[in-house]
């Protein structure tokens, strides 16, 4: 894929990984349309066509429809689903309404937006849909039960859709970052990562991995070692490596809330 010939719609573009992706894509010569919950001003891009921003709350069906219609009118040929919200903590301590909200934005929203855009993408000679997941969607880590479930579901959806659309003009790709150094992380999750020795990357590393994924056309790309190895081992060995996460469990419950037990 030649990035300077693409028009790329990217959700979650207001900050963190999404913002870094917008900047990297613009620098590569791609045209980008960023979707953010809050209205943003244009950023540097092609002087003849500045970076385009759309305000939209992707938990709302009318906003998904509006974003899809705007992207189609703009001529988007690539979609990068980078929007997401965190959910760190012991499952027994998380409010049910928070769980529902995380499931909606992390799983339902990218599925709904993809479905709205598919008729348009099928009319193009070459279209891409990229889902930004997480290593936590491939490896069950204490403290990530809800977040990991949304990313696991998204991975399975992307995998099935990739196989369903094989032979069509629409290719489906998956990018799996590990922990990333952004405001996405709560102080509690930062402390947890430090206690467990979990490595993290600046968002620019994830953005460069997206560019490499798009250029290569590969089905999947996972970031970081030992996370890439852990993904393979977890898929092959599953319960046999459960004991390897004891330090994560201990760190999670080091200071449990009153009345909550593991």
DSSP-assigned letter for residue 240:
G
Number of H helices, E strands in the chain: 9, 7
Residue 103 in any domain: the answer is: yes
Question: Does the pLDDT at position 42 exceed 70?
Answer: no
Q: 142 in a domain, yes or no?
A: yes
CA distance 187 to 244: 24
Inside any domain, residue 67 = yes
Residues 6+ apart with CB under 8 A from 48: none
Q: How many domains does the chain have?
A: 1
Cis peptide before 226 (omega within 30 of 0): yes
The percentage of residues in the chain with a pLDDT greater than 70, rounded to a whole number, is: 85
Distances (CA, A) of 165 to 113, 131, 168: 16, 15, 5
Neighbours of 98 (CB within 10 A): 13
Distance of CA 63 to the CA centre of its chain: 19
Structural domain contains residue 259? no
pLDDT on residue 252:
75
> What is the model's pTM?
0.84
Average confidence (pLDDT) over 111-129 = 98
In a domain, 92, yes or no: yes
Catalytic, 147? Answer yes
Task: State the catalytic residue, choosing from 53, 88, 131, 147.
Answer: 147
- The reply to whether 261 falls in a domain is no
CA 46 to chain centre: 26
Kindly report the backbone phi and psi dihedral angles of residue 126, in degrees, each rounded to the nearest multiple of 5, phi listed first: -155, 115
The full DSSP string for 37-61 is SS-----S-BTTBPPEEEE--TTSH
Ranges 91-100, 107-116, 233-242, most confident: 107-116
Within a domain: 241:
yes
Q: In this structure, what CATH number is given to the domain that contains residue 42?
A: 3.40.50.720
Report if residue 260 sits inside a domain.
Answer: no
Tell me what pLDDT residue 253 has.
72
Confidence at residue 45, expressed as pLDDT on a 0 to 100 scale: 40
Question: Distance between CA 42 and CA 105 in Å, rounded?
Answer: 24
Residue 238 is predicted with a pLDDT of 54
Full residue range of the structural domain in which residue 188 is found: 3-252
């Amino acid at each position: 894929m030649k990035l300077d010939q693409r028009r790329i719609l990217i959700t979650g573009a207001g900050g963190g990984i999404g913002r870094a992706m917008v900047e990297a894509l613009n620098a590569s010569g791609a045209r980008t349309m960023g979707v953010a919950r809050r209205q943003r001003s244009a950023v540097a891009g092609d002087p003849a066509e500045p970076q385009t921003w759309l305000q939209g709350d992707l938990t709302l069906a009318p906003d998904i429809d509006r974003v899809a219609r705007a992207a189609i009118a703009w001529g988007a040929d690539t979609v990068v689903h980078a929007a997401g919200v965190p959910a760190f903590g012991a499952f027994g301590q998380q409010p049910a309404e928070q769980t529902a909200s995380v499931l909606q934005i992390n799983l339902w929203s990218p599925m709904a937006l993809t479905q709205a855009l598919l008729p348009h993408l099928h009319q193009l000679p070459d279209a891409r849909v990229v889902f930004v997941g997480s290593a936590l969607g491939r490896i069950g880590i204490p403290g990530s039960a809800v977040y990991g479930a949304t990313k696991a579901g998204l991975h399975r959806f992307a995998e099935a859709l990739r196989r369903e659309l094989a032979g069509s003009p629409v290719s489906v790709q998956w990018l799996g970052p590990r922990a990333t150094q952004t405001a996405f992380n709560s102080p509690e999750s930062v402390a947890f990562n430090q206690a467990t020795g979990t490595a993290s990357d600046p968002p620019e590393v994830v953005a460069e991995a997206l560019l490499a994924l798009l250029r290569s056309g590969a089905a999947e790309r996972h970031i970081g070692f030992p996370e890439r190895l852990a993904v393979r081992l977890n898929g092959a060995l599953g319960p046999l490596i459960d004991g390897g996460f004891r330090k994560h469990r201990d760190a999670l419950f080091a200071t449990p809330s009153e009345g909550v037990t593991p």
